[in-house]
A and B are shown apart, each in its own frame.
Chain A
Amino acid sequence: MTAARSFECRPEAVTAARHFVRDALAGETPELIDAAELMASELTSNCVRHAGTGFDVRINVGEQIRVDVRDSGGGRPRPLSPGPTEPSGRGLMIVQAMSDSWGVEPRSDGKNVWFTLLRAPAGALAGDGVACGASQ
């Protein structure tokens, strides 16, 4: 299954993109949906905050979940390691920690930032990497 939608460059589009991801993943485990929503929020916020362009979100559900966020802005995002009291720089840190894999693909007209999540086998909610740290 693949779902794709284009969004304008405005903060409300991040909220809409989160809803889009949740809806596309309906039926997956709550842990996986929550993780995908959070990472999509971080990547699309970067489009609005840094790239300053509209963006496309594509979700592919196969053996794994893959979410691509493509914008038309320059620059190459990289995860920072801010000190405990520095206010920003945590978005990609979250993506790095929660995804099974992620990456940045420079394009002639911008860039594509993506992440993947492994799907838990039916009946096993605590999939590899997906739910680690969620259970106390």
Chain B
Amino acid sequence: MAELEESPNSAPLGVETHADEAGGAVIAVSGDLDISSVGELRGAVDQVAAARPDELTFDMSALRFMDSAGIAVLLGAAGRVPTVRLRNPNTAVRRVIELTGLTEVLKVEP
């Protein structure tokens, strides 16, 4: 169907979990995060949070788009993991984060 056609200005969501050098949990998110793809990220957060880490970093450097569906998952993570960091969001993603007041709850780096 026409609804599934690819556009060069978007990409499917990618979610990859790994540990950084210090052993902290990192979820790298890439592509587009909206209502149709957010379940995949929620699943990854559930899995990581179940291990009760002290810190969780979302690497957002390859995330092109995020709306309030993504915000809800990030807030959910912040409620379960003591320290949650958002690393390197692009200008558009950073704007959503700031507009919705997430900077009060989450650390955004840089």
With contacts A13-B3, A134-B91 taken as known, whether A87 is within 8 angstroms of B36 at the C-beta atoms is: no
Interface of A is mostly: helix
Q: Is B2 an interface residue (CB 8 A)?
A: yes
Q: Is A125 close to B, CB under 8 A?
A: no
Query: A19 touching B7 by the CB < 8 A rule?
Result: yes
Whether the pair B3, A8 counts as a contact (CB closer than 8 A) is yes
Please list the residues of chain B having a beta carbon within 8 angstroms of any beta carbon in chain A.
2-5, 7, 9-10, 32, 34-37, 65, 67-69, 71-72, 75-76, 78-79, 91-92, 95-96, 98-102, 104-105
Indicate which residue in B32, B67, B76 contacts A45 across the interface (CB closer than 8 Å). Answer: B67
Using Cβ atoms and an 8 Å threshold, which residues of chain B touch A34?
A: 91-92
The 9 A-B residue pairs with the shortest CB-CB distance in the complex, in nearest-first order: A16-B3, A11-B36, A90-B68, A19-B7, A87-B72, A41-B67, A84-B104, A34-B92, A11-B35
Of the A-B pairs whose beta carbons lie under 8 Å apart in the complex, a sample of 29, sorted by A's number, is: A7-B3, A11-B36, A12-B3, A12-B36, A14-B35, A14-B36, A18-B32, A19-B9, A19-B10, A23-B7, A37-B65, A38-B65, A38-B67, A42-B67, A42-B68, A45-B35, A45-B67, A45-B69, A84-B101, A85-B75, A87-B72, A88-B72, A90-B72, A91-B67, A91-B68, A94-B96, A133-B95, A133-B98, A134-B95
Residue of B nearest to A86 (CB): B75
User: Does A48 count as interface, using CB distance less than 8 angstroms?
Assistant: yes
Closest-by-CB residue of A relative to B71 is A90
Q: Do A19 and B100 touch across chains, with their CB atoms under 8 A apart?
A: no
Report if A15 contacts B (CB, 8 A): yes
Distance between Cα atoms of A90 and B68 in the complex (Å): 6
